[in-house]
Amino acid sequence: MARDLKGKRAIITGASGAIGQALATELVKAGARVALASRNEGTLNELAARLKGQGGDVLVVPTDVTIADQRKRLVDSAVAAFGGLDLLVNNAGVGSWGHFADSTEEINRTVMEVNFFAPVELTRLSMPHLTEGNQPAVVNVTSRCGRKGLPAWPEYSASKFALIAMCEAWRCEFARFGVDVVTVVPGRTVGGFEKNLLRRDGRANLDFHKGMTPEYLSEQIVRAVRRNKRELVIGTEAVWLLRFNKFFPRLTDWLIARKVKKLYAK
């Protein structure tokens, strides 16, 4: 199925971040009407002004996706403004960079709340409207860590694994409603994610500056939504890591463990 995005009514969470802004720009360029959600109202208003200047039909809904009342307000506001809902893009996320033994229950719960429970419950709220939508879809931006858990990203990996598992369950469940599920599995991306980590004491060099640009990632995501791809693994590093791990899982673990041991050698 080819999905025409012109006139589609969409919600994007995490819209104030670099990837969220690039996604909103791409969807507006494709003719979609977009509700922008994040906690940063100032950045949302700046983005909305720019998109409206480009002829976009956008709505700003300041939202903390971990708060139930605010999730409901987001869905209700988008439906009231646009007359329905066709696309839900669960993009908001948070990470923590440090080893499990030194982490805390609070960090674990925060990461799970933002990366798993929030998109799941937002999708639940959206489903009655999506089932009445035009070529409706749920788009979940996950991570390569959701297909291969990585050291120093334990909570993040677990949250993204859980979201991908939910995507796979939804895909078969939602088929009877005609609602598609697109899972995005990106690798390292430039854009400031590393500046908002809950902790940052892992020893490896993250090298985020070598990652994909948000613009390139968003272009690929929108293309995947148009083509109704089931899952999009994007980024050379992510593609090769997951491919190598598929065929040589024990060797992959050995190589990663060897690197960790060297980093923490006394």
SS3 91: coil
Q: What is the per-residue pLDDT for 196?
A: 81
Confidence check: pLDDT of 186 > 80: yes
Residues 107-165: tens digit of each pLDDT: 999 999 999 999 999 999 999 999 999 999 999 999 999 999 999 999 999 999 999 99
Cβ-Cβ contacts under 8 Å for 189 (sequence gap 6 or more): 18, 19, 208, 211, 212, 213, 214, 217, 235
Supply the CATH classification number for the domain 9-263. Answer: 3.40.50.720
Instruction: Read off the pLDDT of each residue in 236-256 and give the average, rounded to a whole number.
Output: 96
Q: What is the per-residue pLDDT for 180?
A: 98
Contact between 118 and 92 (Cβ < 8 Å): yes
Q: What is the per-residue pLDDT for 11?
A: 98
Q: Are strands 137-141 and 87-90 parallel, antiparallel or unpaired?
A: parallel
Q: What is the per-residue pLDDT for 52?
A: 97
Confidence check: pLDDT of 192 > 80: no
| Across 70-74, 202-206, 209-213, 237-241, least confident range | 202-206
Instruction: Read off the pLDDT of each residue in 34-58 and give the average, rounded to a whole number.
Output: 97
Answer with the residue of higher pLDDT: 191 or 72: 72
DSSP-assigned letter for residue 186: E
Confidence check: pLDDT of 266 > 80: no
Q: How confident is the model at residue 12 (pLDDT cuts 50, 70, 90)?
A: very high
Structure tokens at 234: 């994007």
Q: What is the per-residue pLDDT for 236?
A: 94
Active site residues: 156
Chain Cα centroid distance, residue 123: 13
Domain ranges of the chain: 9-263
Confidence check: pLDDT of 106 > 80: yes
Its pTM stands at 0.95
Q: How confident is the model at residue 81 (pLDDT cuts 50, 70, 90)?
A: very high
SS3 207: coil
Instruction: Read off the pLDDT of each residue in 192-205 and give the average, rounded to a whole number.
Output: 84
